[in-house]
Amino acid sequence: MTPRPYALLAELTYRCPLHCPYCSNPATHTGGEELSLDEWTRVFAEAAALGVLHLGLSGGEPLARRDLPKLVTAARQVGLYTNLITSGVGLDANRARELQAAGLDSVQISFQSDDPAQGNTIAGSKAHDAKLKAVRLVHDHGLALSLNVVIHRLNIDRLPQIIAFAESLRPERLELANVQYHGWALRNRNQLLPTREQAQTALLVAQKAQARLKGKMDVVYVLPDYLQDRPKPCMQGWGRHYLTVNPAGDVLPCPNAGSIPDLVFENIRQGSLASIWNESANFNRFRGTEWMPVPCRDCPQREIDFGGCRCQAALLTGQAAATDPVCALSPDREIVDRILDHAWRTEPDDGLVFRQNPQAVLS
């Protein structure tokens, strides 16, 4: 039986005023002709009917959509729990009020650093103050606040300061996410990968903060991927609980699945969400455990990590159906070790590429 999806990630646009070198957005996709308000309204209704309870409005920068409050209204009309995932840039009192009135449930704002100068450098834009203003607006309008900070070699040593800074902004939840190497982040992997010593220290800092803040603020620490010896349970399994619709309406098992070369995904303009979720060859391709190669096939972990990330397997081994090479049991683990060795010999600011706006690609 086809599983039921619980959460939809709606990538409303790939446009963004920031230029984070760690951005997981595809580095080549322009976003095409963005779905209209009417098209998204249909997607939200079909998602809710499929069993989706949860909606993430993301991008790019979702605030770049002028019709964002109307999109929130459409989501709430079909009962979706709606979380805005934003850099905070572009939020003003007017929009905060509109979003609150539309029934937005929560706002997640990302920061690049606790330090304004470093934050602005990483964002490639004077964004830090605008983010602080966005935090104030979220509180003023009684909206729930989560914070997200993406962690990498350039800021990982500041983790204690980053946590203290986050606490001072009084979120209910703090997500410290080590970079996943997709999209722009993949291009900057050599500069972003932390060293083993950095990762060990950071883990202890994060664990101490989790213990100290228990019952007060939820602290989630996403481990640095390549440095582990078991892979992430990517999306809790392909086509199992999550689905993504990208700005152009492609329906994907995860936001990065478009990077797998031989998969061509269905588009919401050509079919219903239910038919794509249930019948798409691509969604079915890595469902369950049948598709798994050795060593996953016989491994007791196979229903826990689902063999890791399909996009990562494709990127690193050329085979989407390979065991995620981060796994120490993978015959390809040496690929990851070679990448680490090479990265640790690269200077962090040597050749860092900043994310470009797809509009620049278009024109």
Partner 1 sequence: MTEIDPHHRPSLAPRVRLQIDTVRQEPVLLYPEGLLVLSPTAHEIVRRCDGHTSIESIVRSLGDEFDATEEILRQDVLETLADLQQRNLIVLDP
Tell whether residue 11 is a contact of ligand SF4 (CB under 6 A): no
DSSP 149-163: EEE-TTTGGGHHHHH
- Contact letters for ligand SF4, residues 63-102 (x by CB under 6 A): ------------------------x---------------
Strand blocks (E) in 209-315: 218-222, 242-245, 251-252
Smallest CA-to-CA distance from 193 within 337, 314, 308, 25 is with 337
In the region spanning residues 6 to 25, those forming contacts with ligand SAM, defined by CB under 6 A, are 16, 22-25
295 interface partner picked from ligand SAM, ligand SF4, partner 1, none, CB below 5 to 8 A per type = ligand SF4
How many Å apart are CA 6 and CA 266, to the nearest integer? 20
Residue 87 sits in the site that holds ligand SAM (CB under 6 A): yes
180 binds, among partner 1, ligand SAM, ligand SF4, none (CB under 5 to 8 A by kind): ligand SAM
**CA-based nearest residue to 19, from 80, 95, 89, 103:** 89
Residues ≥6 apart with Cβ < 8 Å to 1: none
* 60 near ligand SF4, judged by CB under 6 A: yes
Minimum distance of ligand SAM from residue 105's CB (angstroms)? 16
Q: How many residues appear in the chain?
A: 363
Restricting to residues 97-136, name those near ligand SAM by CB under 6 A: 110
* 184 vs 27: CA distance, rounded Å: 5
Q: Is residue 261 within the footprint of partner 1 (CB under 8 A)? A: no
Instruction: Report the candidate in 231, 138, 218 with the shortest Cα–Cα distance to residue 176.
Output: 218
Contact residue for partner 1 among 108, 155, 282, 330 (CB under 8 A): 108
- Paired tokens of 148: 């997200």
Interface with ligand SF4 (CB under 6 A), residue from 7, 8, 12, 18: 18
On whether the CB atoms of residues 18 and 61 are closer than 8 A, the answer is yes
Site for partner 1 in 34-73 (CB under 8 A): 51, 53-54
Q: Residues 61, 114, 250, 266: which binds ligand SAM (CB under 6 A)?
A: 61
Q: Where along the sequence are the contacts to ligand SAM (CB under 6 A)?
A: 16, 22-25, 58-59, 61, 85-87, 110, 148, 150, 177, 179-180, 185
